[in-house]
Structure 1
Amino acid sequence: MDLGQATLQWLHILFGTFWFGGALFANFVVVPVMMRLPAEPQQQFFKLFAAQSERMMLIAASGTILLGFLRGTVFGSIRDLAALSTPYGTYWLIGLVAASLTYAYGTWFLSPRANRVLEMAAVGVGPGGQISPELAAAINRLKVVALLELVGFFVVFTMMIAMHFAGAA
């Protein structure tokens, strides 16, 4: 492995760790803590968190997918369509498709729903500073939808491990 290949691999793993780790941290730490806050600070935090995480996840996901593609093709053993019929090539292709679908799911399904919850939250809070039952239900649906994204990560992560044991194409 030369320096270019090592750097590409390092960056691919860094971006992937940030993307997957960010999703895990958001689902299992940030959102549960945020839900314990009073309504007004919760709304302020969620608005800032959503904007920042959307920007950072775009960079991390795009970097992961692009570098994974380059790692498998330009700097890897996927040089022609025949290489996709090897165990390594099959796992690589499944991983690439799963990562792309996970990215699409987050961008075009999850993020718009999070923005709708933000719009609902902007309407205000109920009596006593509590969130409305409709907003609470929307937040709970959003949490489930966000957890579904982790299924895509599970497939990608599993394919990365399988590629390691399959060897080069």
Structure 2
Amino acid sequence: SFTQEEIQWRGHAIECRIYAEDFENNFMPSPGRIDRLKIPQGNGVRDDGGVYQGSEVSIYYDPMISKFCIYGRNREEAISRLRRALSEYEIAGIKTTLQFFREIIEDEEFQKGILDTGFIERWSKRRKVIEATQIEKDLAAIAAALRFRSERKHSIGAVSANNNSHRSQWQIAGRLAMFANRL
């Protein structure tokens, strides 16, 4: 037997339980066929799963796909390895919690290890703010693209009507594209 003083901390491990669930829909089950499965490997990566490409995730059983464990010398290394491994992990045909974990590991509280039973709720509220900001950015990009298209049509039409212009359509399109990249 060991005394508490004899036990030394060494390394850091993180476990992600990969489920056939839709985390954006209150973690509802997502039964179906696994059409594609690519499980990452590498130093400090362990996947304890029992599914394969072509497996059927049934409504009658637990929707857990795997216990995906990552180990590193410290928390930062474990998170770095987890980030890489999650980016390589592919499951197609069903919704899974993979994207949930991909987003969670980027959260500042998670990275600092500030975790308790209220973490997911706090993260979810922060995520909604980020989603709204992303929608605003997407709308701005769409508006800029529409304006660019409108100005491009107008500019090219005006140059075509002016026979004294020495610029080619290629030059005009290139200049417009250059300015569009600055938006």
* Shared fold, TM over 0.5: no
More strand by share: 2
Larger relative contact order (CA 8 Å, sep ≥ 6): 1
More helix by share: 1
Task: Pick the structure with greater CA Rg.
Answer: 2
